[in-house]
């Protein structure tokens, strides 16, 4: 088998060379040019060698004219050149010219300049020919005693790599490095030496650590990190050593380096499940979150705390540290605050809920004073949701939370106020003991509400839940004050006429002069115009209008429907509670007067916008109900609406309980009663070995997040499904590709088989992309023997969520043929958008907000042969990886119509929204309707629409 891959240590950015020089030109420049010309020629040789050119005739020229040079740039380029130049011939034997190179580098290892010595030592780490390294061993050993730390540090690395590859060249390397470590003072040299002992001779490393374990806190951070790694490996391999070194880890929790403290805390969690250890690690994590300025670090450490929380034994310890975790809210980053609040909510208990609520109240007060920040409103919304969740879990805290949250209703921003309204609606329905407090507080803040959406919701809540004669009368009084003097049209006409009279009088007073001079408090004169006075009076009249009337005058009659139903419900309840017929008639008349005045105002020309027909129909129905006082309509208004809300809350509570149970099931138990016991002494070596990172593996096991991969049982079956055939079986070159999709890139593992009896030279897979894909690296050419095969890998970068196509061909030369290059065209590889889309959830308010913000919409007409509504929706969900946000109980197809909202999120953070509106025609015909898709990018909207079109056409009866 021919391998198309070779080990690469250095990456060089090569710009495209338009005019490639020939070998003779390069040889002339190296022999007769100045230093600058030689440098440029050597760069061209390196780039041409990387591109596959064979320049064997230049080898002796370079050795003769460039190798003896003392120029540092040429020496640095020569290190790269010897790294990429083939050092063996076709039979695998070392080229004789390399003896001269070896002698030159022996001299460089004895050079007085420390940079040349250190660079040469780094180069020797990359050599894989023991014949070249063996003559240099005495010089490498002498570098350990050099005066400069740069040379000593690289000498240790060189000895380590040589011992790992060719231990026969320096068998006493561990002993040599141990002696070097005991006498070394430089931190970087000690770190390299200690790391070598960890991997080469752990016993010597432990001996050294035992002699200086009390001075660990005084070490440099790079050495402390290596010590943490050693302690972890030793304790993982030999658990009896934990008691010996766990005190060292405790000491490193107090290190001045944030990285050392983070690694020490993670190691401590894996070594011990004791509550004191978990508490110490958690406190260390919290200190890192509070003191670290980088928000990315804060999020990473918060993830560690979340993993600790998922462990059943560690959760109780973290519950005691909730108030400390909330210190992370001092960060201005919204994502850090959101994750902190989510973690605190998961750790809430009856012991700390009161302290948590009081802390959130202080944060609410602080956020009210912090104006001018972009994320203040969103942060207040997060606080409201958190307090809402606390009240749902612990209803006894409602008395503390409700007065604080009610203050949000008067906010000019709708984000927090809307969430408060949802909380109030749920609280007044569920908590009967807190209903008087909530209603009285709502009536108190009613006059201060200045947002139409919030006022509409408050009207509905008060109209639905105000009971008792006194509270009903108080509600009507507040509504009457908010509407103003009745009838509204006549009152507005009088106000307008009064303003006109004032304007005329003001004009007469200032008839001779359009402006008047006045004296200010400072004794200076100012000029006031009659036009500015009239304008200020007009603004003053608008400010004097009551809130509801001002909304109506601005043309916002969406409040009319909520006002009419609220007054109608209160009037019908007043009829049932008040036996006095005269008071009943008075109350009904007053309610009808308000509603008729609103209708009259809407039909007049006074408002900026006229009332809509829907609102007129609503007002008319309510007036008719009040006039007729029918028992059936009274039951609908007073009972059925509350039943609908009750059903909605039950559906949401059921969904939350299902999600909670699913989360509890996902938590892996520490150990079950019937789990087998594994003894470390009886494990085979093959069982103990693993290609995975042992630290991450054991840390995941310690915090309870270790999960088995889906492909672990049968990896071949899942991989075979991703193999794409690129050529036919009768083609000279057969090729197939395994498409491995990571998060942000695609790796193509192409198998190329030579099916001919000829040797194929310069066989190259040439690829191109269509869509938002980018080929990262060009596959290198290779030579295929007769009936030989090789694997070629290519990486493609994915920039956004949309469909893409990878296409190309295979070109090759046949040995001895005089014809042009041969070419085999490859089949296209289609990259499906579904590989990047994952189901996600969001609230109804967030869905509506994103629906309004996203500018790209794709409307797909339903064309299928499925005759049922719900099965069609389930088929769309399965085909597009989207999640249905509409509750299942609302998807009943008895009405013949179905509307549902779908949501998904890509791995790039892009959101995709969809609204399914379908109906079942009369008879047994297929489902008809439309699916509207909205996304922030055009490619995602179009690709998702194409996927839906294809999936519904493939369906069979």
Q: What does the pLDDT look like over 174-209, one tens digit per residue? A: 999 989 988 888 888 988 898 898 888 888 888 888
| Helix-helix angle 452-465:558-577, to 10 degrees | 20
Is domain 835-953 given the CATH code 3.30.310.10 in the classification? yes
What CA–CA distance (Å, rounded) separates 204 from 538? 90
Q: Which residue has the tokens 């005759």?
A: 867
- Are 704 and 668 spatial neighbours (Cβ–Cβ below 8 Å)? yes
Secondary structure class of 759 (helix, strand, coil): coil
Residue 758: other Cβ atoms inside 10 A = 16
- pLDDT at residue 360 in the model: 87
Report whether 340 contacts 328 (CB < 8 A). yes
* Domain boundaries for CATH 2.60.40.1480 within the chain: 720-831
Provide the pLDDT for residue 33: 84
691-714 pLDDT, tens digit each: 334 555 555 555 544 444 434 444
From-to residues of CATH 3.30.310.10 in the chain: 835-953
The kind and range of the H/E element at 146 are: none
Q: How far is Cα 344 from Cα 350, in angstroms, rounded to an integer?
A: 13
Whole-number pLDDT of residue 285: 93
DSSP 838-881: EE----HHHHHHHHHH--EEEEEE-------HHHHHHHHHHHHT
Q: Among 776, 797, 808, which Cα is nearest to 13's?
A: 776
Question: Which residues lie across from 930 on neighbouring strands?
Answer: 861, 917
Q: How far is CA 768 from the centre of its chain?
A: 30
Instruction: Look at residues 483, 494, 631, 606 and name the one whose alpha carbon lies nearest to residue 548.
Output: 483
- Phi and psi based region of residue 698 (left: phi greater than 0; alpha: psi -120 to 50; beta: remaining): alpha
Distance CA 921, CA 624 (A): 35
Residue 513's pLDDT is what?
Answer: 45
pLDDT tens readout for residues 203-260? 888 888 888 888 888 888 888 888 888 888 888 777 777 777 888 888 888 888 899 9
The answer to whether 924 and 784 are in contact (CB under 8 A) is no
Residue-level pLDDT at 663? 64
Residues of the chain with pLDDT under 50: 1-6, 510-516, 522, 530-538, 540, 669, 680, 683-693, 704-717, 957
pLDDT for the residue numbered 531 = 45
pLDDT number for residue 708: 41
- CATH fold, domain 720-831, is Immunoglobulin-like (2.60.40)
Residue whose C-alpha is closest to residue 576's, from 629, 619, 642: 629
* Whole-number pLDDT of residue 105: 86
> 827 in helix, strand or coil?
coil
Q: Tell me what pLDDT residue 5 has.
A: 42
Rounded alpha-carbon distances, angstroms, from residue 406 to 193, 364, 437, 438:
65, 12, 11, 9
CB 457 within 8 A of CB 420: no
Cα 184 to chain centroid, rounded: 45
Q: How far apart are CA 369 and CA 363, in angstroms?
A: 10
Amino acid 930: pLDDT:
92
Q: Which residues are 808's β-sheet partners?
A: 767
φ, ψ for residue 914, nearest 5 deg: -150, 145
């Amino acid at each position: 088998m021919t391998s198309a891959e070779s080990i690469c240590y250095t990456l060089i950015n090569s710009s495209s060379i338009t005019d490639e020089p020939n070998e003779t030109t390069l040889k002339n420049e190296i022999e007769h040019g100045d230093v600058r010309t030689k440098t440029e020629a050597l760069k061209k040789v390196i780039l041409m060698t990387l591109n596959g050119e064979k320049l064997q005739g230049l080898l002796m020229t370079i050795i003769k004219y460039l190798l003896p040079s003392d120029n540092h740039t040429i020496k640095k380029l020569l290190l790269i050149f010897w790294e990429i130049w083939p050092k063996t011939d076709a039979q695998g034997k070392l080229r004789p010219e390399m003896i001269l190179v070896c002698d030159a580098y022996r001299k460089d290892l004895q050079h007085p300049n420390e940079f040349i010595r250190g660079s040469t030592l780094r180069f020797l780490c990359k050599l894989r020919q023991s014949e070249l390294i063996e003559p240099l061993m005495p010089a490498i050993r002498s570098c350990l005693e050099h005066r400069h730390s740069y040379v000593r540090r690289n000498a240790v690395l060189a000895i380590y790599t040589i011992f790992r590859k060719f231990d026969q060249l320096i068998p006493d390397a561990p002993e040599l490095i141990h002696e070097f470590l005991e006498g070394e003072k430089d931190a970087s040299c000690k770190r390299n030496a200690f790391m070598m002992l960890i991997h080469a001779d752990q016993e010597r490393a432990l001996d050294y650590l035992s002699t200086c374990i009390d001075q660990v806190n005084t070490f440099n951070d790079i050495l402390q990190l290596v010590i943490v790694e050693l302690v972890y490996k030793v304790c993982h391999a030999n658990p009896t050593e934990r008691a010996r070194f766990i005190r060292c880890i405790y000491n490193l929790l107090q290190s001045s380096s944030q990285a050392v403290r983070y690694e020490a805390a993670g190691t401590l969690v894996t070594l011990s499940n004791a509550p004191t250890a978990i508490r110490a690690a958690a406190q260390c994590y919290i200190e890192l979150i509070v003191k670290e300025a980088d928000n990315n670090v804060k999020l990473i450490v918060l993830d560690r705390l979340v993993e600790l929380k998922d462990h059943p034994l560690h959760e109780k310890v973290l519950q005691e540290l909730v108030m400390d975790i909330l210190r992370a809210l001092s960060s201005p980053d919204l994502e850090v605050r959101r994750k902190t609040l989510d973690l605190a909510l998961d750790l809430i208990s009856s012991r700390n809920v009161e302290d948590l609520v009081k802390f959130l109240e202080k944060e609410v007060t602080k956020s009210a004073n912090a104006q001018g920040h972009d994320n203040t409103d969103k942060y207040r919304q997060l606080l409201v949701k958190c307090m809402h969740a606390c009240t749902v879990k612990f209803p006894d805290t409602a008395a503390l939370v409700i007065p604080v949250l009610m203050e949000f209703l008067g906010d000019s921003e709708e984000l927090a106020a809307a969430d408060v309204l949802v909380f109030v609606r749920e609280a007044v329905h569920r908590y009967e003991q807190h209903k008087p407090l909530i209603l009285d507080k709502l009536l108190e803040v009613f006059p201060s509400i200045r947002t139409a959406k919030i006022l509409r919701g408050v009207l509905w809540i008060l109209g639905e839940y105000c009971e008792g004669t006194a509270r009903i009368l108080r509600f009507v009084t507040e509504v009457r004050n908010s509407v103003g003097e009745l009838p509204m049209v006549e009152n507005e006409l009088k106000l307008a006429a009064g303003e006109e009279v004032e304007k005329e009088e003001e004009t007469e007073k200032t008839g001779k002069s359009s402006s008047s001079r006045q004296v200010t408090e400072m004794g200076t004169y100012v000029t006031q115009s009659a036009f500015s006075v009239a304008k200020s009076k007009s603004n003053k009249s608008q400010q004097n209008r009551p809130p509801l009337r001002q909304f109506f005058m601005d043309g916002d009659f969406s409040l009319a429907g909520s006002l009419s139903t609220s007054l109608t419900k209160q009037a019908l309840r007043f009829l049932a509670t008040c036996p006095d017929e005269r008071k009943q008639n008075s109350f009904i008349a007053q309610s009808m007067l308000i509603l008729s005045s609103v209708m009259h105002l809407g039909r007049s020309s006074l408002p900026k916008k006229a009332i809509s027909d829907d609102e007129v129909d609503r007002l008319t129905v309510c007036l008719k109900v009040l006039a007729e006082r029918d028992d059936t309509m009274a039951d609908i208004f007073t009972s059925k609406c509350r039943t609908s809300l009750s059903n909605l809350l039950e559906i949401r509570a059921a969904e939350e309980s299902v999600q909670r149970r699913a989360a509890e099931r996902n938590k892996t138990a520490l150990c079950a009663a019937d789990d087998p016991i594994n003894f470390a002494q009886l494990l085979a070596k093959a069982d103990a070995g693993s290609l995975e990172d042992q630290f991450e593996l054991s840390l995941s096991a310690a915090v309870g997040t270790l999960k088995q991969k889906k492909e672990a049982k049968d990896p071949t079956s899942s991989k075979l499904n991703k193999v794409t055939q690129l050529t036919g079986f009768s083609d000279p070159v057969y090729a197939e590709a395994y498409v491995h999709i990571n998060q942000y890139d695609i790796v193509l593992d192409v198998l190329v088989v030579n099916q001919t009896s000829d040797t194929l030279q310069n066989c190259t897979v040439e690829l191109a992309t269509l869509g938002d894909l980018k080929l990262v690296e060009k596959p290198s050419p290779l030579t295929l023997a007769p009936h030989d095969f090789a694997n070629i890998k290519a990486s493609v970068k994915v920039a956004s969520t949309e469909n893409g196509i990878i296409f190309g061909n295979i070109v090759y030369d046949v040995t001895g043929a005089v014809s042009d290059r041969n070419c085999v065209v490859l089949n296209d590889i289609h990259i499906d958008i579904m590989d990047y889309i994952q189901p996600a959830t969001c609230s109804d308010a967030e869905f509506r907000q994103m629906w309004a913000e996203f500018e790209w919409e794709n409307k797909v007409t339903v064309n299928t042969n499925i005759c049922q509504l719900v099965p069609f929706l389930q088929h769309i969900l399965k085909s597009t990886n989207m999640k249905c946000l509409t509750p299942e109980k609302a998807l009943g197809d008895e009405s013949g119509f179905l509307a549902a909202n779908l949501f998904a999120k890509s791995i790039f953070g892009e959101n995709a929204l969809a609204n399914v509106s379908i109906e079942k025609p009369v008879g047994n015909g297929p489902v008809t309707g439309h699916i509207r898709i909205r996304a922030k990018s055009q490619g995602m909207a179009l690709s998702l629409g194409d996927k839906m079109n294809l999936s519904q056409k493939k369906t069979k009866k």
